[in-house]
């Protein structure tokens, strides 16, 4: 599976540890955002939620859309990264799809979320990436 994202709109979500302690929730510890799009991001909220749409990648595993809420409570911005605290990725099926690994990361396409068109797009196209920078292809076992 390939995906094409303009570098300008690339956002990466990284973490150091993922924990599955509750049904439907993955806790992401040591989480930060990086990527070229941070040069264009306005001040982010201390607490917020964005909806990540993994449907394109997970369609081989699920017969329905796979979207997950990515939420945080606590933020520290620097020039190159945005560090998030109390980060949760939630979806009622998160425990029945392949679990995230500590060295995976997510690439988010923010192209449809510039100010003038953000209100027309409720989810962010997203892809789970392996530590070797390859997109997971769940159809290849």
The enclosing domain of 106 has a CATH number of 2.40.30
Q: Dihedral of the CA atoms 59, 62, 65, 71 (nearest 10)?
A: -100
**66 pLDDT exceeds 60?**
yes
Query: Is 1 among the domain residues?
Result: no
Query: Is 2 among the domain residues?
Result: no
What confidence category does residue 119 fall into, taking pLDDT thresholds of 50, 70 and 90? low
Query: Is 140 among the domain residues?
Result: no
Check residue 12 and give its pLDDT: 95
Does 43 or 126 have the greater pLDDT score?
126
The count of structural domains within the chain is: 1
């Amino acid at each position: 599976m390939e995906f094409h994202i303009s570098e300008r709109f690339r956002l990466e979500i990284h973490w150091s540890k993922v924990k599955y302690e509750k049904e439907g929730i993955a806790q992401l510890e040591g989480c930060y955002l990086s990527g070229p799009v941070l040069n264009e991001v306005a001040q982010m909220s201390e607490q917020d939620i964005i909806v990540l749409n993994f449907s394109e990648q997970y369609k081989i595993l699920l017969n329905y859309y796979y979207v997950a809420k990515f939420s945080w409570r606590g933020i520290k911005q620097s020039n190159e990264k945005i560090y998030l605290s109390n980060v949760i990725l939630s979806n009622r099926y998160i425990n029945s799809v392949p679990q995230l690994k500590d060295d995976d990361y997510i690439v988010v396409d923010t192209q449809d979320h510039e100010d003038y068109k953000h209100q027309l797009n409720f989810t962010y196209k997203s892809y789970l990436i392996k530590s070797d920078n390859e997109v997971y292809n769940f159809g290849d076992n």
